[in-house]
Structure 1
Amino acid sequence: MISSAAQQSFQQMVERAIQASPLVQGAAPRTVELLPDLARLHSTQAVVLSVSSYVFRLTFMLHFSDDAATRQHFAMLARIAPQDFSTQAFMDGIRECGNVCCGNLNRDLVRAFPHIGMSTP
């Protein structure tokens, strides 16, 4: 495991990565919560992301709800009428959001870890 200071730093980096994403512009600020107990989780969907270097691997899950409000938000971002927004388009939008957040996190980490890579969700 990692130290609590390292956990806090990663948490702050992930929050910055999410806030920097153009996919959440106009939305309420997002926060990152480390859940030691997944039973507290209310969403049923997740995108699994990883960032790694030679010395570490960071894996995290971007949880989301497949509800009308979330679909409407991603339809608006895609400039598609909500009634025309397919399940595939919704999942593509969620994955792209994860990919953008992962790329933003990668830019933060590359300062300390020059040999870093990221997954494609």
Structure 2
Amino acid sequence: MISGHAKESIERIFIRVAKSRLTRRPDDVCEIVPASERGARSLPDANVVVLTISGLVFRLLLILHFEEDERTREYFASEASERPFLEDFLEICNLCCGGVNQELLQYFPDLGMSTPYVLSARCVPYLEVLKPGLLQTYSVTINDGVALGATLCMCAHAPIDFVAEAGVVEDTSGELELF
């Protein structure tokens, strides 16, 4: 039900947004490769942040895998904030999902986003039960040291076919979106 063009577009949107929203500084390097590729890092003790974008014809789960190790905490902890690591990280994950949502709004009106929540990564294999039309996991590495994972899981309720433009992500950090 999800065309090859649509799958490629969703993956391209995610990768473009993740490279701009998961990095903290403009000169940071973010590499994203399919988890099945050689050299991809695995996160055996990870937790996941689950975010959902839902529309009339689909539900897209954006799942970000993380381990709360020293490198990850240091990278994502806001220097000006005294909030716990998880609060800062959830906000960054939410910004990433919001960027994907904004791009998808060009093709699908009336999308909604969920509040992020944290689960054990042991739940990820059960995504198959949803019978997704798209299920892809990625290895994300920032500055050769911070390791994350990402899973895209899309379930379609009707045929989906679109081709996303290959533009750059607009920086809309700080904008307030009203529903």
Shorter chain as denominator, the TM-score bin is: 0.7 to 0.9
Aligned mate of 1:67, from 49, 66, 69: 69
For residue 31 of structure 1, give the secondary structure of its aligned residue in structure 2.
strand
The 4+ residue runs of structure 1 with deviation greater than 6 A are none
With CA pairs under 8 Å and 6+ residues apart, which has the higher RCO, 1 or 2? 2
For residue 12 of structure 2, give the secondary structure of its aligned residue in structure 1.
helix
Cα deviation 1:57-103 (Å, max 9, x = unaligned)? 1012111121110111122xx1159xxx6xx6111112111100011
Shift of 1:31: 1.4
- 1:27 corresponding residue in structure 2: 28
In 2, Cα distance between equivalents of 1:32 and 1:104: 19
Contact 1:20 1:104 in 2 (8 A): no
- 1:49 corresponding residue in structure 2: 51
Identity %: 35
CA RMSD of aligned residues (A): 2.5
- 1:117 corresponding residue in structure 2: 112
In 2, Cα distance between equivalents of 1:3 and 1:32: 21
Q: Does 1:101 align with 2:96?
A: yes
Shift of 1:10: 1.1
- Normalised by the size of structure 1, how large is the TM-score? 0.76
Shift of 1:16: 1.5
Higher strand share: 2
1:34–1:10: structure 2 CA closer, same or farther, 3 Å change rule? farther
Contact 1:21 1:101 in 2 (8 A): yes
- 1:10 corresponding residue in structure 2: 10
1:11–1:24: structure 2 CA closer, same or farther, 3 Å change rule? farther
- Normalised by the size of structure 2, how large is the TM-score? 0.53
The number of aligned residues is 110
Task: List runs of 5+ in structure 2 lacking aligned partners.
Answer: 117-179
Higher helix share: 1
Cα deviation 1:35-66 (Å, max 9, x = unaligned)? 6xxxx842511100110111111012111121
Shift of 1:24: 3.2
In 2, Cα distance between equivalents of 1:117 and 1:70: 29
Task: List runs of 5+ in structure 1 lacking aligned partners.
Answer: none
Shift of 1:8: 1.9
Contact 1:15 1:32 in 2 (8 A): no
Contact 2:18 2:96 in 1 (8 A): yes
In 2, Cα distance between equivalents of 1:63 and 1:17: 16
In 2, Cα distance between equivalents of 1:10 and 1:4: 10
For residue 34 of structure 2, give the secondary structure of its aligned residue in structure 1.
coil
